[in-house]
């Protein structure tokens, strides 16, 4: 649905693209409010990243924005700092139960992380915010909404549920952010996003961030944004250049287990994320690593929110060496100091490989990405190398034996291999229709 042409006032002379060489600009040069600058100084954040330097002036000038940036570029601060600057003064008590800003994220882990960033940057402000997601009891979320909020960070499913029951009023939203839009598409949330957008006022400032720009997301951006500032920090789906990438060809069967044992004999693999395609495989790999004497925790959509957060915290705090994850953790989750990423199973979509390896080499650090490839995954490897426009360095022997067909997807509407699009709880959506009847034994 087309957007109305009513917008916030802005400087008519604002440039379509803002460019600030990082060597010539600091956060203090951007005109941010004093409480925001104090919070930045407390975190030793002095120089903005490219996307922050280019986005913040335009957003402070009330422009809509389309941001295309790979993970780890600092886009959370790029949209958080301008909204905090706008809300620097305490709001009047009138309409206190109507939030003024909404951030939509595809996963609860990313939503929690965004909430933590807003909390840190608003340390010297009276900003009320909460994070809304499924998989947990809703009572505390509803209570926070009733007390009144400035900002809501949410996953689409739980937010729609609360909106349908009149627990949240979206009519006062002035600032809307859709983060990881292409991941929303992958997880089947675009219809939910459109329902939420339809409930927002026409006169608002809107931002859309995406690592890639498939046609459906490009179409969605035209519905949400008006005359947007477009910022593209790196070519779409281009990995960080500081990542050393390699591939190990393994035999079918137990080849990957042996390769896993070999690489973890190196103590240099200090903090590692291992990616699998399926939840079942993530559990099995974590168990294998534990048997090898390597501390590991698995994180995927079938885990409860408490279990997932516990695993993330253990990994962040260095209490376990390895986190084994499905692609739910590949986008947006910012964990410092990841030294290696291991693709135990290659993803069937080459863009997912880029998002996975982006977990390392954060904030200018170097990193290592290791891929295992069995005969059934050689097609996936070719697709990845075609996207990267280069071949991965082969460690050990080259491919041996005859190539086999990739694993087939099971069922309708599945994501990846045997996974249906997840709902806001991270669980597969149930199929509609009558439930299947269990076979009953005939009476003798």
Give me the CATH number covering residue 353.
3.40.50.300
Strand 367-373: give its sheet, edge to edge: 296-299, 322-325, 272-275, 340-343, 367-373, 243-249, 393-394
The structure tokens listed for 122 are 């608003």
The pLDDT profile of the chain, 444 residues, written as one tens digit per residue, is 444 434 444 433 333 333 333 437 899 999 999 999 999 999 999 999 888 999 999 999 999 999 987 666 788 999 999 999 999 887 776 777 899 999 999 988 889 999 999 999 999 998 899 999 988 899 999 999 999 999 999 999 999 999 999 999 999 999 999 998 988 887 788 999 999 999 999 999 999 998 878 888 899 999 999 999 999 875 444 456 778 999 999 998 889 999 999 999 999 999 999 999 988 999 999 999 999 999 999 988 777 777 888 888 899 889 999 999 988 665 656 687 899 999 999 998 888 888 888 888 765 567 899 999 999 999 999 999 998 889 999 998 888 777 887 876 544 334 433 334 444 444 444 444 444 444 434 333
CA 349 – CA 207 distance, rounded (Å): 26
Whether residue 176 is found in the same domain as residue 250? no
Cα distances (angstroms) measured from residue 367 to each of 339, 359, 370: 5, 9, 10
Whether residue 279 is found in the same domain as residue 192? no
Tell me if 4 is assigned to some domain. Answer: no
Give the domain-ending residue among 201, 232, 263: 232
Whether residue 286 is found in the same domain as residue 224? no
Q: Please tell me the pTM assigned to this model.
A: 0.67
Residue 329 is predicted with a pLDDT of 60
CA 406 – CA 377 distance, rounded (Å): 6
CA 220 – CA 242 distance, rounded (Å): 33
Q: Are 45 and 27 in contact (CB under 8 A)?
A: yes
SS3 427: coil
Of 204, 198, 174, 201, nearest to 7 (Cα)? 204
Tell me if 13 is assigned to some domain. Answer: no
Whether residue 94 is found in the same domain as residue 211? yes
Give the domain-ending residue among 371, 394, 417: 394
What's the DSSP call for residue 416?
T
> First vs last Cα of the chain: how many Å apart?
62
Whether residue 214 is found in the same domain as residue 86? yes
CA 139 – CA 260 distance, rounded (Å): 43
Whether residue 215 is found in the same domain as residue 262? no
Tell me if 126 is assigned to some domain. Answer: yes
Whether residue 251 is found in the same domain as residue 369? yes
Query: How many structural domains is the chain composed of?
Result: 2
Whether residue 260 is found in the same domain as residue 220? no
Whether residue 191 is found in the same domain as residue 276? no
Which H or E run includes 351? helix 350-357
Whether residue 248 is found in the same domain as residue 183? no
CA 161 – CA 192 distance, rounded (Å): 10
Whether residue 139 is found in the same domain as residue 253? no
Domain that holds residue 302: 243-394
Tell me if 165 is assigned to some domain. Answer: yes
The structure tokens listed for 374 are 């069995």
Whether residue 51 is found in the same domain as residue 199? yes
Residue 238 is predicted with a pLDDT of 47
Backbone region of residue 188 per phi and psi (left: phi > 0; alpha: psi in -120 to 50; beta: other values)? left
């Amino acid at each position: 649905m087309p957007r109305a042409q009513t917008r916030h006032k802005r400087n008519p002379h604002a440039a379509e693209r803002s460019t600030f060489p990082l060597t010539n600009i600091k956060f203090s040069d951007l005109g941010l409010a004093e409480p925001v600058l104090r919070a930045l100084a407390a975190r030793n954040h002095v120089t903005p990243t490219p996307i922050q330097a280019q986005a913040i002036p335009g957003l402070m000038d009330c422009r809509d924005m389309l941001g295309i940036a790979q993970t780890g570029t600092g886009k959370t601060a790029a949209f958080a700092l301008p909204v905090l600057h706008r809300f620097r003064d305490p709001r009047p008590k009138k309409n206190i139960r109507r939030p003024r800003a909404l951030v939509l994220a595809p996963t609860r882990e990313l939503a929690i992380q965004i909430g933590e960033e807003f909390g840190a940057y608003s340390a010297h402000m009276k900003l009320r915010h909460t994070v809304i997601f499924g998989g947990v009891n809703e009572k505390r979320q509803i209570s926070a909404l009733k007390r009144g909020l400035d900002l809501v960070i949410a996953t689409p499913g739980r937010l729609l549920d609360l909106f349908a029951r009149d627990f949240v009023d979206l009519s006062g939203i002035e600032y809307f952010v859709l983060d990881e839009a292409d991941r929303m598409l992958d997880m089947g949330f675009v219809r939910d996003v459109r329902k939420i957008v339809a409930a927002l006022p026409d006169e608002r400032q809107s931002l859309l961030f995406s690592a890639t720009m498939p046609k459906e997301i490009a179409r969605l951006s035209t519905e949400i944004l008006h005359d947007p500032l477009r910022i593209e920090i790196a070519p779409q789906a281009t990995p960080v250049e500081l990542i050393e990438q390699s591939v190990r060809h393994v035999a079918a069967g137990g080849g990957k287990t042996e390769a896993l044992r070999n690489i973890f004999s190196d103590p240099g693999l200090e903090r590692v994320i291992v990616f699998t395609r399926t939840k079942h495989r993530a559990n099995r790999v974590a168990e294998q690593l534990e048997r090898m004497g390597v501390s590991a925790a698995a994180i995927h959509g079938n885990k409860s929110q408490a279990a997932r957060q516990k695993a993330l915290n253990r990994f962040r705090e260095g209490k376990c060496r390895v986190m084994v994850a499905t692609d739910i953790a590949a986008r947006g989750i910012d964990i410092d100091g990841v030294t290696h990423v291991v693709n135990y199973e290659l993803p069937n979509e080459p863009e997912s490989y880029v998002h996975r390896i982006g977990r390392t080499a954060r904030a200018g650090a170097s990193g290592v990405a290791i891929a295992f490839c069995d005969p059934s995954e050689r097609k996936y490897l070719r697709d990845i190398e075609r996207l990267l426009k280069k071949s991965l360095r082969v460690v050990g022997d080259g491919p041996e034996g005859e190539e086999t067909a990739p694993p087939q997807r099971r069922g309708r509407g599945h994501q990846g291999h045997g996974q249906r699009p997840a709902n806001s709880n991270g669980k597969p959506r149930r199929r509609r229709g009558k439930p299947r009847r269990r076979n009953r034994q005939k009476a003798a």
